[in-house]
Each structure stands twice: as structure tokens, then as C-alpha cells.
């Protein structure tokens, strides 16, 4: 099938939050909503290949049960009847969790991850499993970008991004250890929400780096990205001892900022003129709407932060590589022949990072986290690109991490908005907040989404 055409002004993607009132008044049903998703999957999935496991029978039964509850006026929760796709490093009791690795071919854990449990408890419709890169760190899967099938969808939440950006499902779960929620969301024209670290319970998600692994949502609407994340936290909390994501059940109202900080970061040298112009235009709209914009040229404190951000990709690499010793060294011992070359190289690298180097990286990480927190005295949040340009051509490389990895290192939340287009391809606009102030970030992102809409 021909690739889709990206329009940053589009509003045709399925939105569960918008449909739920119609379920209550009987003018629509969860089963009809699901069937529209399945119809789109049938049309697009052969070319995009977002799913690794999809059996409509169980989702249809779950949607029928939700339909009956709405007719009785007794929905289980705000996500009752919402179709959700699950990244295939997240455990599901009724489907394999295979990590895009032959080591786990057809493997089932016998339980749901905490997030999936929370969704099922609220009546959500677990639609299927989406493609991930190998263990969310190495070899890419078969998924293609919805807007150009020769381009990567990004990774590692490749299938979740392609499925939501193409409108096959309203919302999907993803994970981020470097850039794996917001980068593929940007490349695929979806919304991506990486909450504060540990704000969503990561139990039952295959580990990569305890300091950085973060569960989040990708969606066709900001409302659904927030709604599903907030529900998960309401049921199972955060990753202990974090109490979990806080805030209203529904997307916070748009909150106009007084001041925003524009960040360039190490990724700026990768950005072409067209992408810079697109960002400039978006920030110009924010300024015209009343936001004061600080940057490294007009504010010494921002210049100091930019200097601290130089080279942080190496800091993040040291932390995450050291932390992946288990279980990957065990896999390498027993299943070396089932690793891709890229995975084998990453696991071997973990043997050579010393405890002293790890501690030095942790100290740098903590210093950066304090510096970012201090910026709350100057501004309501930050804006930058989500990626250095459109998705690269080719399916083997999932794109640069320069504009994502630094905020994962801070443990603070970020949201990417599908509001920029370059050469007809989506490039995300990234809004960044302060740690454990996710609701404030959502309100800010809501405002940015409104004022930058073409």
C-alpha cells in the first residue's frame, strides 16, 4: 500500500477520550470503535508491520464486555473500552513476550506486567503486541515508517509509534532508556509521553538500565497519552518507592507559560536548515502567544546549562551499559549464538566499564539533575526538537539519540508533539518539564500543541 501523507494540522486519528462520551450516551460503542481500528489495521499493517502478535478474538470479547458496561451505565474506569497496544518487552499473560529475540521465541511469563494488569483491571482492550528492537537496544525489527516505507520508524518502540501515528490504535505502551518513546513518536507523527523516571510502575518490563528505563505512552492524541498513563499510576502506582504519576484523570487544561527555555544541546550540529527553520517558526508562535523565550544567547544561566549538557550522551552510555550486565551477561553465556552482532557488542562493552567509571557517571548525572531543577526559578519549562530531522532512510538504523538522551538522563518528563513537518515528513516538537511535575508539563504541552497547530 502507498505510504500515508503527513499533515501536522490533521485531526483524523482515533481519540478514545473524545469517543468515551458517545459510549455513555449510546451513539457509539467500544466494539464499534475497536472495529474501526481493526479495519485500519487490515488496510495498513501489511505495509507498515507494526504488530508482532495480533488476534482480534480476545479484543473483540473485551470490547463487547465494555459495551455492555456502558449500556448499563457502569464503566469500570475512564479507560474502559480503550484499545491499547503493548510493546513486546512488556509481559502479557495471554500473548507471548518475545523481545524481538530468538532467545524468547514464543515465551510467556504467565502474568501481566503491572501496567497491563492496571489496564485490564480498568476494562481497557489489550489489542496486541507491537514490534520492538532486539531487547529494546539492538537489531531493528521489520516495522516501516507510515509516511515513507523506506525510512525507519525509529526505535525501540517502533511498532507502538507506527501503530499510533498511522491511526491503527489510539494509544500504545512504550519504554525509553535513551530515546525510545519520543524519537519514534516524532518520526511517525505521534504524540509521545515519557513521564518522570519511575512515575509509572515498570514491573514486568524486561530490564535494560534501572536508572533510565521509563514506561510511557504513545498516542494519536495528547489526551489519550495522558489518560492511559494516569490510569496506570492510579491502579499500581510508580516503580517503588515512587508513589506514581500525579494529577487529574483527564488531560490537564492548557496552561500558558510566562517563560520558556529554548535548548540546542549537542544535537544542534546535526540539524539541517529546513529543520531549524521549522523549529524557529514554532517558537515564534509561542513568543507571539505571550511566552518569553530564553536561550543561551540572552541568558547566562541557560548557556551554563548548555555547557553542562555537552557530552552527556557518553555519561548516559556508561550508566546504562554498566547496568545491563544482568541479565545480558547470563544470556551471552547461555545463548551467545542467538544475539545479533549489535547486541553482542553492547553486552561485551558492559564487561569493561569499571565501578569507578560508573560512579563518576552517576555523579555527573546527579549534578545535571540538580542543575535542571534549579532552572525552575527561571522558566516554566523547555522546548527543543525531538529529533535532528526527519527519519533517516533505511531500516537498520533507528536514528540519532542526541535530542532525547539528555532528558532521559535528567529523569524529568518530556512530551513530543507532531507539530513540525520537514520535506513532508514529521519531526517532533519536544516540550520538557521538571521532575515529578508531570501534570504541569502536560498542561504546558497542551498549550504548545494548541498555539503551534498550523
Tens digit of pLDDT for each residue in 143-200? 999 999 999 999 999 999 999 999 999 999 999 999 999 999 999 999 999 999 999 9
User: In whole angstroms, what is the distance from residue 59 CA to residue 282 CA?
Assistant: 39
Residue in 273, 262, 272, 270 with CA at minimum distance from that of residue 297: 262
Residue 419: inside a domain: no
Quick one: pLDDT at residue 11? 87
Q: 51 with 128, same domain?
A: yes
Q: Helix, strand, or coil here: 193? A: strand
**Cis amide prior to 241 (ω within 30 degrees):** yes
- The pTM of this model reads 0.98
Residue 122: inside a domain: yes
For residue 1, pLDDT over 80 is answered with no
Most distant CA atoms of the chain, gap in Å:
62
Q: Mean pLDDT across the chain, nearest whole number?
A: 97
Q: What is the pLDDT of residues 347-393, one digit of tens each?
A: 999 999 999 999 999 999 999 999 999 999 999 999 999 999 999 99
Q: What's the distance, CA 453 to chain centroid? A: 21
Q: 222 with 345, same domain?
A: no
Residue 306: inside a domain: no
Residue 62 CA neighbour count, 13 Å, CB half: 25
Quick one: pLDDT at residue 390? 98
For residue 216, pLDDT over 90 is answered with yes
User: In whole angstroms, what is the distance from residue 296 CA to residue 419 CA?
Assistant: 24
Q: 174 with 48, same domain?
A: yes
Q: 205 with 327, same domain?
A: no
Q: Which grid cell is 52?
A: 508482532
Catalytic residue flag (residue 402): no
Catalytic residue flag (residue 129): no
Whole domain around residue 158: which residue ranges? 16-252
Q: 214 with 340, same domain?
A: no
Please report, for residues 85, 212, 227, 248, 437, the alpha-carbon distance to residue 17 in angstroms, rounded to integers and kept in the order given. Answer: 16, 30, 8, 14, 22
Q: 70 with 142, same domain?
A: yes
Mean pLDDT of all residues in 78-90: 98
Residue 183: inside a domain: yes
Beta carbons within 8 Å of 191's beta carbon, 6+ residues apart: 164, 185, 218, 219, 220, 221, 222, 224, 225, 415, 416, 417, 418
Q: Which grid cell is 407?
A: 532528558
Q: What is the pLDDT of residues 276-331, one digit of tens each?
A: 999 999 999 999 999 999 999 999 999 999 999 999 999 999 999 999 999 999 99
Q: 233 with 337, same domain?
A: no
Q: 35 with 110, same domain?
A: yes
Of the candidates 158, 166, 180, 209, the residue annotated as catalytic is 180
Mean pLDDT of all residues in 28-57: 98
Picking from 252, 274, 295, the residue at the C-terminal end of a domain is 252
Q: 228 with 325, same domain?
A: no
Q: 220 with 344, same domain?
A: no
Picking from 343, 360, 377, the residue at the C-terminal end of a domain is 360
Work out the pLDDT band at 206, boundaries 50, 70, 90.
very high
Q: 215 with 340, same domain?
A: no
Please report, for residues 167, 272, 372, the alpha-carbon distance to residue 218 in angstroms, rounded to integers and kept in the order given. Answer: 11, 26, 25
Residue 120: inside a domain: yes
Q: What is the pLDDT of residues 307-316, one digit of tens each?
A: 999 999 999 9
Please say whether the dihedral angle defined by the alpha carbons of residues 229, 230, 235 and 240, taken in this order, is positive or negative. Answer: positive
Mean pLDDT of all residues in 203-211: 97
Question: What is the share, in percent, of the chain residues with pLDDT greater than 90?
Answer: 99
Quick one: pLDDT at residue 365? 97
Q: 79 with 216, same domain?
A: yes
Of the candidates 115, 156, 166, 320, the residue annotated as catalytic is 156
Query: What is the CATH number for 95?
Result: 3.90.1300.10
Residue 61: inside a domain: yes
Cβ–Cβ < 8 Å for 250, 238: no
Of the candidates 87, 129, 194, 364, the residue annotated as catalytic is 87
Catalytic residue flag (residue 209): no
Residue 151: inside a domain: yes
Mean pLDDT of all residues in 27-55: 98
Picking from 360, 395, 416, the residue at the C-terminal end of a domain is 360
For residue 76, pLDDT over 80 is answered with yes
- For the chain, how many structural domains are there in total? 2
Q: Classify residue 292 as exposed, middle or buried by CB count within 10 Å of its CB (0-12, 13-18, 19+).
A: middle
Amino acid at each position: 500500500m502507498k505510504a500515508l501523507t503527513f499533515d501536522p494540522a490533521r485531526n483524523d486519528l482515533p481519540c478514545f477520550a473524545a469517543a468515551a462520551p458517545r459510549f455513555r450516551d449510546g451513539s457509539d460503542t467500544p466494539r464499534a470503535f475497536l472495529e474501526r481500528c481493526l479495519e485500519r489495521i487490515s488496510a495498513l499493517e501489511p505495509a507498515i508491520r507494526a504488530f508482532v502478535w495480533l488476534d482480534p478474538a480476545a479484543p473483540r470479547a473485551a470490547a463487547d464486555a465494555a459495551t455492555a458496561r456502558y449500556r448499563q451505565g457502569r464503566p469500570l474506569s475512564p479507560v474502559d473500552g480503550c484499545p491499547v497496544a503493548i510493546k513486546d518487552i512488556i509481559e502479557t499473560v495471554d500473548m507471548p513476550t518475545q523481545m524481538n529475540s530468538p532467545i524468547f521465541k514464543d515465551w510467556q511469563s504467565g502474568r501481566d506486567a503491572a501496567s497491563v494488569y492496571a489496564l485490564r483491571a480498568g476494562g481497557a482492550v489489550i489489542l496486541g503486541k507491537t514490534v520492538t528492537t532486539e531487547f529494546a537496544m539492538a537489531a531493528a525489527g521489520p516495522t516501516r515508517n507510515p509516511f515513507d516505507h523506506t525510512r525507519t520508524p525509529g526505535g525501540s518502540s517502533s511498532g507502538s509509534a507506527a501503530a499510533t501515528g498511522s491511526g491503527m490504535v489510539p494509544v500504545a505502551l512504550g519504554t525509553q532508556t535513551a530515546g525510545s518513546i519520543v524519537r519514534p513518536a516524532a518520526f511517525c507523527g505521534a504524540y509521545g509521553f515519557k513521564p518522570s523516571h519511575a512515575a509509572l510502575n515498570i514491573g514486568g518490563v524486561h530490564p535494560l538500565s534501572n536508572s533510565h528505563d521509563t514506561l510511557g505512552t504513545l498516542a494519536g492524541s495528547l489526551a489519550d497519552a495522558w489518560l492511559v498513563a494516569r490510569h496506570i499510576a492510579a491502579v499500581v502506582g510508580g516503580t517503588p518507592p515512587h508513589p506514581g504519576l500525579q494529577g487529574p484523570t483527564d488531560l490537564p487544561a492548557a496552561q500558558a507559560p510566562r517563560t520558556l527555555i529554548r535548548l540546542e544541546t549537542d544535537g544542534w550540529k546535526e540539524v539541517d536548515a529546513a529543520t531549524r527553520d521549522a523549529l524557529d517558526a514554532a517558537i515564534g508562535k509561542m513568543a507571539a502567544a505571550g511566552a518569553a523565550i530564553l536561550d543561551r544567547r540572552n541568558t547566562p544561566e541557560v548557556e551554563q546549562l548548555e555547557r553542562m549538557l555537552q557530552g552527556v550522551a557518553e555519561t548516559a552510555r556508561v550508566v546504562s551499559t554498566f547496568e545491563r550486565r544482568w541479565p545480558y551477561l547470563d544470556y551471552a553465556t547461555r545463548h551467545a549464538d542467538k544475539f545479533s552482532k549489535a547486541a553482542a557488542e553492547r553486552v561485551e562493552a558492559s564487561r569493561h566499564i569499571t565501578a569507578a567509571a560508573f560512579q563518576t557517571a552517576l555523579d555527573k548525572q546527579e549534578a545535571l539533575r540538580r542543575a535542571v531543577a534549579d532552572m525552575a526559578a527561571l522558566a516554566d519549562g523547555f522546548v527543543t526538537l525531538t529529533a535532528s530531522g526527519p527519519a533517516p532512510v533505511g531500516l537498520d538504523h533507528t536514528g540519532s539519540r542526541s535530542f532525547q538522551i539528555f532528558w532521559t538522563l535528567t529523569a524529568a518528563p518530556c512530551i513530543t508533539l507532531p507539530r513540525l513537518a520537514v520535506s513532508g515528513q514529521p519531526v517532533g516538537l519536544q516540550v520538557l518539564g521538571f521532575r515529578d511535575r508531570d501534570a504541569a508539563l502536560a498542561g504546558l504541552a497542551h498549550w504548545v500543541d494548541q498555539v503551534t497547530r498550523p
